[in-house]
Structure 1
Amino acid sequence: MTSTKQGTLSRGDAGALIGFCIAGVAIAAYITVFSISRIIALLSGTMVPVLVEFVDQPIEAPLGANGENITLELDRASITVPSLPPVAIGAGILGQIAQIVTIVVVIGCLMLLARSILTGAVFSRRNTRLVMAAGIVGLVGFAAVQFFENMLSNAAVAEVTDNAVDNAVISIEPFTFVLAAFIISVIGTAFVIGDRLQRETEGLV
């Protein structure tokens, strides 16, 4: 005989999960509004601020004790582009769309997971799928966002400098990506094992 009885959460745990859901909605709304504003700015095509990363780019700045120039190594800066080429606008818009989709899907999966936990069902195949879906979409989505942002920044530098600066930077950190994938795999494995152990335990009751 099997049992389908679910555990119950304390008021503190339930309150924390509800607070998590509220925070998730707020984050998704903020990111969506920010991305839409960014898309509108990109569509204007003029005087658009763009965050740019450089590789060993030396610059001179008057930071010496008597105002003399000191050579610095620039690795990141924000530049305002008078006019963006269509390829840069398209890449920037795709990046913002990818960001909206990624955030909404990830937070949506986690909120469904929280809702399931609020009912007392922590380990289940559905919850395992939600965790893995959130992790995979997050990894792929944020990598796509960074890829399109790199295209935008490189095109912006080429436009401003008339291709005088070689700034083909692809700034997706392999270690961060691998670490995130490892953490997601561990969490997913924990849910798979938890689901199996729970089903085995229920089968003994």
Structure 2
Amino acid sequence: MEQNLSRSDRNDLRLIMLYGAVAAIAVLIWTVVSVTNLFPAGVFTPTVPLETGTVSTALGGGASAVVTEVTVAAPDTPLISVIAAVTVVIVRALTFFGVIACILALCRNISRGITFDRANSRLVSATAITLFVGTLIVQGARTFAINGILASLEHIGEGDISTPMSFWVTYFVAASLGLVAIAFRAGERLQRETEGLV
């Protein structure tokens, strides 16, 4: 059953769709820049997170500094680890694109007055699954890449392969979207039952 939306609601949906389009362009630019930054001057130069440690510097008469990550040329990194590092960037971008596409499709449906519909429930579920699976792949590829990079380098210190907070944030967002999908399905059933009584 289609629902009539107010002009304000339609404008809000158009604004969200505009944000989605801008976000897609930003993700595309970020992806190109990120891949390019991995190979400045044609040499694999990743940024590696390290176990937090204090080192001496030549600044300020030998001041100390806390190092949490380092960008270093690693031309001897195994090819499989280089591929894993690129995979992190590509899969993260594809995850963003997938989520944006689902949100845009959902906004389009709602703007047409279609709210509690099976297609919308599937779109919300697809968003949750895309977020969760994409994040799992990114985390796995990230760990694999860091281990390979560190194995090819000497005297760089211990790498930090702990699960970042962003993973857990994304996990809870995906779980929350799963609950929203359940609510959409419940609304869809209620709407069908209501239509049957009319």
TM-score scaled to structure 1, two decimals? 0.79
Q: Secondary structure at the match of 1:57?
A: strand
The reply to whether residue 57 of structure 1 matches residue 49 of structure 2 is no
Give the aligned partner of residue 80 of structure 1: 72
Counterpart of 2:72 in 1: which secondary structure?
A: strand
TM superposition shift of 1:157: 3.8
Q: Are residues 1:165 and 2:157 paired?
A: yes
Verify: 1:183 aligned to 2:176, yes or no: yes
Does the aligned pair in 1 maintain the 2:124–2:178 contact within 8 Å? no
**Partner residue in 1 for 2:197:** 204
**2:7 corresponds to 1:11:** yes
- Equivalent position of 2:82 in the other structure: 89
- C-alpha change, 1:175 and 1:97, in structure 2 (3 Å) is closer
- Aligned residue runs from structure 1 range 114-133, under 5 A: 114-133=107-126
* Structure-2 residue corresponding to 1:46: 43
- C-alpha deviation, 1:168, in angstroms: 5.5
Could you tell me how far apart the structure 2 residues matched to 1:150 and 1:181 are?
A: 21
Cα distance between partner residues in 1 of 2:57 and 2:155: 23
CA apart distance, 1:183: 0.8
Residues 35, 100 of structure 1: 8 Å contact kept: yes
Normalising by the residue count of structure 2, what TM-score does the alignment of the two structures yield?
0.82
Residue aligned with 1:165, SS? coil
- Cα distance change of structure 1 residues 177 and 119 upon mapping to structure 2, 3 Å threshold: closer
Indicate the percent of aligned positions where both proteins have the same amino acid.
26
- Report the residue type matching 2:148 in the other structure: A
Unaligned runs of 5+ in 2: none
SS at match of 1:52: strand
